[in-house]
Structure 1
Amino acid sequence: MMPEESLEGLSLKCGPLGEHDRLLTLLSEDGGLSRLAVPGARRPRSSLAAAVPLSQLRLQIGGGRGLRRVRQLRVIHSFGQLGQRLETLAAAQSLAELCLHLVPDGDGVAGALDDLTLQLHRLEQVVSERQDNLEALAIAVHGHVHLLALGGYGLPLQSCARTGEPLAPPLDNRDWRCSLLPSEGLVIGAVAGAMMVLTASELALLQRLPRPGLPRCRDGTLMGPAWVWLRLLDLVQMWCLQHLGRRGKALRLLQGCFSSDVQGRQGAAPSLPPND
């Protein structure tokens, strides 16, 4: 019997276990992903019923070498408010899904928990401040770029994958293109067989995403229209499929929330200010 210990983290997923229990998947800073049994959590009056997805929890756990069991549970913060809007819920679930596939069991990815928690708080602001739905889409794309980089699968945004030439998109050249080849990276020019071809403005927006904050104009509005953010969402899905072997279900749900924004706009290019 292993001694009891405290564990703190963010619940990413909960599922049924037996008749009355739950199986909880927790993301912690040092321990990565932990799968824990929560006895009686599906009983309405259980003291452990708060073991639900998208909650910051402090747990007391015990048990043997197999599936460890939650003895006590305290909710530090619940992100349940995100369920008030489909866009924020889908964005949050997409980031949680990414961590489930990106973070190894028992071994943390430095910064992943903090970055995910930051993005969830931003999504909370979208709900509480009644911000535009586009904010949720941008946060999801932004969060994916950050988490992929932290997990060792970052998008190579600074140089051509074939020539090594710097990727410096000329915003005054509407004919300039670069191509996404998920097995290689980004290649200057419209390359045959590319999964996606980006304009200079689209690449410029993508190159801003590793920064801490979302790319905004001087008046505080997001750079780029919804249909461009949807293209970047497609790009992220292609990258995840190539390097993680799957694309998130919640990303497709999020994409469906904006389906009307993309119709008939695929050939245009967004207008962005020069890079800072």
Structure 2
Amino acid sequence: MVSDTTLEGLALATGPLGENDRLLTLLSQDEGLTRLAVPGARRPRSSLAAAVPLAHLRLQVVGRRGLRRVKQLQVLHNYSALAQRLEPLAAAQGLAELCLRLVPEQAPAPEILADLLLQLGRLEELVRERGERREALAIAVQGSVHLLALGGYALPLQSCCRTGAPLEPPLGDRQWHCSLLPGEGLALGALAGARLVLWSSELALLQRLPRPGLPLRPGGELMGPEPVWLHLLELIEAWSGDHLGRSPRAFRLLRSGSASMPPSSPPLR
């Protein structure tokens, strides 16, 4: 007789399976990415219909080989409130997509799950408090910086990828730049062939993001205007596209929802 297993994690994605079943991709602390069959979940009155994306679930799973089946589920938390606003929802979906590319199947991912839940909680609080759109951008960028580092694809923020010289942006110096080079990293100067070029203030802000909290001014206001956060999101998309094969599609929606444009890059030389 096959014994049941208990799994706790966040539903990242779902899809149809057969006529009434659902295929669930779960991010759990113990198993990383796990794909499970949820019998009858597409029936409206099913007790398993709550297996939907961005739901934190505790599952009773049966089976040992092949596609295991969900027998029972308990909803620990549903982040459905994020759907009330486009920006927090797109940020959350983009972070979930990033995890789908970063996390291997059947490999423990405790830190990634914990950080993703932290970012979703911040986005949920943003919806409740009707915070600014740029805060959703900031959470998307900082969450991506954290997840990429935990997944082994950290942005190299401290030294030039070509010379090894330290990247020490002098604040207020409009002549200082660094370039994101495809497949390499950040290099000093505004270089030809760069994916994008950062001003000194943009890199200084980016270098703060591996810390736990968002970068705030002494009065508690978020640092950086919206166009800067849009530019940093573009960098995240470029880096993840180069190293993971594809950037999160939801980030394009997050970016396109703004009337603001990223600041003009300095001329290449």
Q: Superposition pairs for residues 169-180 of structure 1, below 5 Å? A: 169-180=169-180
Cα shift readout 1:80-115 (whole Å, capped 9, x = no counterpart): 100000111100000000000100000023410000
Cα shift readout 1:158-191 (whole Å, capped 9, x = no counterpart): 1111111111101132101111113111111111
For 1:167, the equivalent position in structure 2 comes to 167
Work out whether residues 197 and 265 of structure 2, in 8 Å CA contact, stay in contact via their aligned partners in 1.
no
Q: Distance in 2 between the 1:107 and 1:182 partners?
A: 29
Q: Percent identity?
A: 64
For 1:266, the equivalent position in structure 2 comes to 264
Q: Superposition pairs for residues 114-193 of structure 1, below 5 Å? A: 114-193=114-193
Work out whether residues 91 and 254 of structure 2, in 8 Å CA contact, stay in contact via their aligned partners in 1.
yes
1:266 CA drift (Å)? 2.3
For 1:272, the equivalent position in structure 2 comes to none
Cα shift readout 1:216-269 (whole Å, capped 9, x = no counterpart): 1122221111111011011000001110011111010111111x1117x4259x
For 1:112, the equivalent position in structure 2 comes to 112
Q: Distance in 1 between the 2:158 and 2:50 partners?
A: 44
Q: Distance in 2 between the 1:267 and 1:247 partners?
A: 21
Structure 2 portions without partners, runs of 5+: none
Q: Distance in 2 between the 1:168 and 1:105 partners?
A: 38
The two structures have a TM-score, normalised by structure 1, of 0.94
Question: Partner amino acid for 1:3?
Answer: S
Work out whether residues 42 and 49 of structure 2, in 8 Å CA contact, stay in contact via their aligned partners in 1.
yes
For 1:41, the equivalent position in structure 2 comes to 41
Work out whether residues 227 and 266 of structure 1, in 8 Å CA contact, stay in contact via their aligned partners in 2.
no
The two structures have a TM-score, normalised by structure 2, of 0.96
Question: What is the DSSP-based 3-state SS (H/G/I as helix, E as strand, rest coil) of the residue aligned with 2:194?
Answer: coil
For 1:251, the equivalent position in structure 2 comes to 251
Work out whether residues 56 and 75 of structure 2, in 8 Å CA contact, stay in contact via their aligned partners in 1.
yes
Q: Distance in 2 between the 1:112 and 1:253 partners?
A: 23
Q: CA RMSD in A?
A: 1.3
Q: Distance in 2 between the 1:75 and 1:212 partners?
A: 27
Question: What is the DSSP-based 3-state SS (H/G/I as helix, E as strand, rest coil) of the residue aligned with 2:37?
Answer: strand
Work out whether residues 110 and 150 of structure 1, in 8 Å CA contact, stay in contact via their aligned partners in 2.
no
For 2:207, the equivalent position in structure 1 comes to 207
Structure 1 portions without partners, runs of 5+: 269-276
For 1:30, the equivalent position in structure 2 comes to 30
Q: Distance in 2 between the 1:15 and 1:168 partners?
A: 46
Q: 1:25 to 1:211 in 2, by over 3 A?
A: same
Question: What is the DSSP-based 3-state SS (H/G/I as helix, E as strand, rest coil) of the residue aligned with 1:262?
Answer: coil
Question: What is the DSSP-based 3-state SS (H/G/I as helix, E as strand, rest coil) of the residue aligned with 2:221?
Answer: coil
Q: Distance in 2 between the 1:224 and 1:170 partners?
A: 16
How many residue pairs get aligned? The number is 266
Q: 1:248 to 1:150 in 2, by over 3 A?
A: same
Which structure 1 residue ranges, 4+ long, deviate > 6 Å from structure 2? none
